Amino acid sequence: MKLKQLESLLGGLQQFPNPKMELEQYPTGPHIASRMLYTAENSFGDVSGKVVADFGCGCGTLGLAAALLDAEHVIGLDIDSQSLEIASLNAEDLELDIDLVQCDIRNLGWRGQTVNTVVMNPPFGTRKKGADMDFLFVALKIASQAVYSLHKTTTRDVSHLF
C-alpha cells in the first residue's frame, strides 16, 4: 500500500466526539500515524505478519494502520469504553478485524513477550504525571521486537527510570 493511500484511509476514521481531558484523549493525526507505521514496516519489518499491540488505542488509528499494513494480529487496549466502541466501528468501516481489550495499563495481566511490536501514542503525562512512563514500562516488558511511541519533548528526562 502506498503511503498516501494509508494516510487517506486513516484520515477518514471517526475520532473522539467529546475527548476526556483527564485521560489526555486526542486523536493521532493521519499524517504522523501513517508515517510512523510505514517506517516501522518498510525500514524495520516490524508490522507485516506480526502481532502488534496498540496501547491506549483510543479510536484505533495506530492499530488500524498496522492492520492495513498487514499485521497478522492486532490488539488495541484502552481504558475507555466509548473510545473502544468507536475503534470497533472504525475497524468495521475498513473491513478489518482487530481485537480490543478494555483495561487499565497499570494493572494489566499479561503473559510474557507474546507481542512482536507495540505502537502507541500514550498520554504524555501532562494531566497525570508519569502516565507516559507507565505505558512505556509495560510496552518494553511485553514487546519482543520493537516499541514505537510518541512523547512530548518536555518530558524527555527518563534518567529516573534506570
Q: Using CB under 8 A as the criterion, which residues of the chain lie in contact with other proteins when the complex forms?
A: 49, 51, 72-73, 75, 79, 81, 84, 88, 97, 99-104, 107-115
Of 15 and 48, CB closest to other proteins: 48
CB atoms within 10 A of CB 115: 22
Of 21 and 85, CB closest to other proteins: 85
- Round to whole Å and give the CA distance between 76 and 64: 9
C-alpha cell at 46: 516490524
Give the CB-side neighbour count of residue 136, counting CA atoms within 13 A.
15
**Shortest distance, CB of residue 47 to other proteins, whole angstroms?**
13
Give the torsion sign (CA, 104, 100, 118, 65): negative
Of 43 and 107, CB closest to other proteins: 107
- Round to whole Å and give the CA distance between 160 and 162: 6
Of 113 and 126, CB closest to other proteins: 113
**Shortest distance, CB of residue 117 to other proteins, whole angstroms?**
13
**Shortest distance, CB of residue 14 to other proteins, whole angstroms?**
16
Of 93 and 97, CB closest to other proteins: 97
**Shortest distance, CB of residue 112 to other proteins, whole angstroms?**
7
3-state secondary structure of 55: strand
**Shortest distance, CB of residue 81 to other proteins, whole angstroms?**
8
Side chain identity, residue 52? V
DSSP 8-state class, residue 119: E
Residue with the three cell numbers 485521560: 23
